[in-house]
Copies of this chain bind each other. A is one copy, B any other.
Amino acid sequence: MARTKMPIPTLRRIPRYLRLSEELLRAGIVHVSSAELAERLGFTPSQVRQDFSALKEIYGISADGQQGYGYRADSLRTNMERILRLSEEKSCIWIGVGNLALALAHNFDFKRCGVRPEAAFDILPEKVGTTLRTLSGEIPIYHVDSLERYCTERCPRMAILTCPPAAAQNVADILTHAGVTGIWNLTNVDIRVPEEAELENVHLSDSLMTLACRVRPDADCP
């Protein structure tokens, strides 16, 4: 399959189609129309049709839409998994072993996302030399001083940033300079990376703001 040329906004909808297809299959539902998909995901039906026509064009695969039946939930799942390349493993390192890192390491199914954590880095003497427990096994914690050398020698594909916000840009510079090509930035500050690298800045505050403004303030409390 060629490297993806899909527009990022379309790509962002793929995990949602995937989750919905899994939910449908668990509920024993075999077919789903684009109108139902749109309604359950909060997209417009024309958005769904556009997405699937773009996927067909880029990947030559379709969600098996059949006149009168809609799409097959199992094909939908398989094709979304293929588009997301979930079966291709990407090695991943971790920078910053604080509470957020622990919460994710202990609970988050990285394997399901095609990601294999292989080492972590921190600055605190009580952490360096110990291990970080993940769902797929323990990974070593090294001192951040050895980060650059590790990346040059071992060529990890991705990095998860859970370091203090003030260190985020500097760490990202070291990583991308040493050849890391994907950065999952959970530090809640925006960082920049060179064009050849891929970046996801996760902004939990965007989601909380979006929610809070739809809720009545305390002053309206009965």
> Counting CB contacts under 8 A, is A157 at the interface?
yes
Copies of this chain, tallied across the complex:
2
| B215 in contact with A182 (CB, 8 Å) | yes
With A4-B213, A204-B108 known as contacts, the answer to whether A218 contacts B19 (CB < 8 A) is no
| A190 in contact with B11 (CB, 8 Å) | no
> Counting CB contacts under 8 A, is A198 at the interface?
yes
Instruction: Name A181-222 residues within 8 Å CB distance of B.
Output: 181-184, 188, 190, 198-200, 202-219, 221-222
| A42 in contact with B9 (CB, 8 Å) | yes
**Most chain B C-beta atoms within 10 Å of own C-beta, residue among A103, A184, A212:** A212
Residues of B within 8 A of A83 (CB): 213
Binary contact readout A77-91 vs B (1 if CB under 8 angstroms, 0 otherwise): 000000111101111
Closest Cβ of chain B: how far from A88's Cβ, in Å? 4
| B11 in contact with A155 (CB, 8 Å) | no
| B203 in contact with A19 (CB, 8 Å) | yes
| B100 in contact with A217 (CB, 8 Å) | no
A209, B99: Cα distance in complex, Å: 22
| A211 in contact with B190 (CB, 8 Å) | no
Which of A28-36, A68-76, A110-118, A167-175 forms part of the interface with chain B?
Answer: A110-118
With A89-B218, A214-B4, A221-B157 known as contacts, the answer to whether A205 contacts B102 (CB < 8 A) is no
A188, B211: Cα distance in complex, Å: 16
| A114 in contact with B188 (CB, 8 Å) | no
